[in-house]
Amino acid sequence: MYSTLLILHAVVRWLVVISLTTALGRSIYGYLNQRSFTRVDHILRHWTATFAHIQLVMGVMLYMKSPLVQYFWKNFSEAMQQLDLLFYALIHSLTMLIGIVVLTIGSALAKRKQTDREQFKTMGLWFGMAFILFLVAIPWPFSFFAQRPFIRLF
């Protein structure tokens, strides 16, 4: 189950990244060009938050089952010296949680704004902050903290 969940978590990462990048692009373009906040923008805002929440649930399940995290908490003082263990046990999980909270707040606030321009501005600001947090916390192949392949198959 752990391996399957790890692969699914890696796949859903791309749904979050792609939907968030698209939502950010549309919010910036819509704000600058004073476009209407269309049904497509609402759907994209909603599904971006939904993908992030699915990713969070899988991440919590992985956190509880992860041998790296279990080792970290059993050998805390020793494991704090290992950057990859520190990354997965604390940095990745806390930064992603904060990012998803920021994204969720932004989605809820944008949904309730009265004007199209305010909706685009709110979504762009909050989703942009979440995007930065996600980029830092994803274990990219080139990451300083911990490396994982772009596509994980096992």
Distance CA 16, CA 129 (A): 14
Q: Using 50, 70 and 90 to split pLDDT, how confident is the model at 48?
A: very high
> 10 Å Cβ neighbour count for 114?
7
Decide if pLDDT at 154 tops 60.
Answer: no
**What global pTM score does this model have?**
0.88
User: Which residues does 59 contact at the CB level (< 8 Å), separation at least 6?
Assistant: 9, 93, 96
| Per-residue model confidence (pLDDT) at position 128 | 98
Decide if pLDDT at 150 tops 80.
Answer: no
- In total, the chain counts a number of residues equal to 154
pLDDT tens digits for 13-36?
999 999 999 999 999 999 999 999
Distance CA 26, CA 146 (A): 31
Q: Enumerate the H helices of the chain as residue ranges.
A: 2-32, 39-65, 67-74, 76-79, 83-86, 92-112, 116-137
The Cα-based distances of 88 to 68, 71, 80, 85, 138 in angstroms read 7, 11, 11, 5, 10
Distance CA 123, CA 106 (A): 6
| Per-residue model confidence (pLDDT) at position 103 | 98
pLDDT tens digits for 71-108?
999 998 898 888 888 888 999 999 999 999 999 999 99
Mean pLDDT within 108-126: 97
Decide if pLDDT at 52 tops 70.
Answer: yes
> 10 Å Cβ neighbour count for 101?
14
